[in-house]
């Protein structure tokens, strides 16, 4: 079985004619948590949002190279963006529940993809809320507005919403940075459990978090891929002096 989920080949991104990512080549492993680390402005989020082409939302974007999933370049003209983003869910930095009920947040994606069977939606809502540890907290108020939930609960709801459409890959863009430590730990625990079923790519600026979560690490600096590899190798035996300096807090 192929152990690679995403293969990035000679990939560059230009925004408004400014190069943000420079000739990135790296394979992202299947059913692991891959952490993208590096100082602010190094291109972490740009790389993450390129994986499901959310970067397209920015005007004047130009890409070079390939991002291959199942051998298909996500930037090919014939790629169905709706299907791509169904397969690659993203959890943003700040919780962004839809302005509707808890239940409708979960089944929103199902409705978009043509599912109308109430029993199917009910089962999926319960399954996804249980998978993020939220079912026991909200099962008796599913018709309440999602805005009534705490920030930590809202972020878990957003994770459940992403899972409802059965993605293969989860992208997390500093998903815990707006949360209190207890809520952040809850999200971390859920991701650790979910990686058996999903390939997870996690952007974080917190090295302690990357060390807790990551199986694999990608270190970016000034838009360049400096180093990548199994987490224990990158964190404890870095090969590049820039990686070593970043991990020691010399910059960042």
Please give the backbone phi and psi of residue 18, each rounded to the nearest 5 degrees, phi first.
Answer: -105, 130
pLDDT for position 2: 67
Is residue 17 pLDDT above 90, yes or no? Answer: no
pLDDT for position 25: 98
Burial class of 119 by CB neighbour count within 10 A (0 to 12, 13 to 18, 19+): exposed
What residues make up the domain containing 66?
4-95+169-247
Which has more confidence, 2 or 202?
202
pLDDT per residue over 49-103, tens digit each? 999 999 987 778 999 999 999 889 999 999 999 899 999 999 999 899 999 999 9
pLDDT for position 56: 86
- Please give the tally of structural domains in the chain: 1
Which has more confidence, 114 or 219?
219
Is residue 211 pLDDT above 70, yes or no? Answer: yes
Is residue 1 pLDDT above 60, yes or no? Answer: no
Residue 231 CB neighbours (<10 A): 19
C-alpha atoms less than 13 angstroms from C-alpha of 245 in its C-beta half-sphere: 10
pLDDT for position 252: 72
Residue 159 lies in a domain: no
Residue 151 lies in a domain: no
Q: Alpha-carbon distance 89 to 52, whole Å?
A: 8
Find out whether 7 and 51 touch, Cβ atoms under 8 Å: no
Residue 83: CATH number of its domain: 3.40.50.300
SS3 string, 213-227, reads HCCEEEEEECCEEEE
Residue 27 lies in a domain: yes
Q: If you average pLDDT over every residue of the chain, what do you get?
A: 94
Residue 161 lies in a domain: no
pLDDT per residue over 195-207, tens digit each? 999 999 999 999 9
Find out whether 5 and 169 touch, Cβ atoms under 8 Å: yes
Residue 109 lies in a domain: no
Residue 129 lies in a domain: no
Rg (CA), the chain: 18
Q: What is the mean pLDDT of residues 232-241?
A: 97
Is residue 186 pLDDT above 80, yes or no? Answer: yes
pLDDT per residue over 160-171, tens digit each? 999 999 999 999
pLDDT per residue over 138-152, tens digit each? 999 999 999 999 999
| Angle, CA 174 vertex, CA 252 and CA 22 arms, to 5° | 60
Residue 127 lies in a domain: no
Instruction: For residue 106, give the H/E element and its range.
Output: helix 102-112
Residue 144 lies in a domain: no
């Amino acid at each position: 079985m192929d152990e690679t989920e995403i293969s990035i080949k000679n990939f560059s991104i230009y925004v408004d004619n400014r190069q943000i990512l420079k000739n990135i080549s790296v394979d992202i492993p299947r059913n692991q948590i891959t952490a993208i680390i590096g100082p602010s402005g190094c291109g972490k989020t740009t790389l993450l949002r390129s994986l499901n082409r959310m970067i397209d939302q920015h005007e004047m974007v130009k890409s070079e190279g390939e991002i291959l999933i199942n051998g298909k370049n996500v930037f090919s003209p014939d790629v169905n963006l709706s299907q791509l983003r169904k397969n690659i869910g993203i959890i943003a930095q700040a919780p962004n529940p839809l302005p509707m009920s808890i239940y409708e947040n979960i089944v929103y994606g199902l409705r978009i993809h043509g599912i109308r069977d109430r029993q199917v939606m009910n089962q999926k809502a319960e399954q996804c809320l249980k998978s993020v540890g939220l079912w026991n907290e909200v099962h008796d108020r599913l018709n309440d507005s999602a805005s009534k939930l705490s920030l930590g609960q809202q972020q878990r709801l957003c994770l459940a919403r992403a899972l409802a459409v059965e993605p293969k890959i989860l992208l997390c863009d500093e998903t815990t940075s707006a949360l209190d430590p207890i809520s952040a730990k809850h999200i971390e625990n859920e991701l650790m459990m979910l990686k058996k079923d999903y390939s997870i790519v996690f952007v974080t600026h917190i090295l302690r978090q990357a060390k807790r979560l990551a199986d694999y690490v990608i270190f970016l600096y000034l838009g360049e891929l400096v180093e990548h590899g199994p987490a224990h190798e990158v964190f404890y035996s870095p090969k590049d002096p820039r990686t070593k300096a970043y991990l020691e807090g010399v910059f960042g």
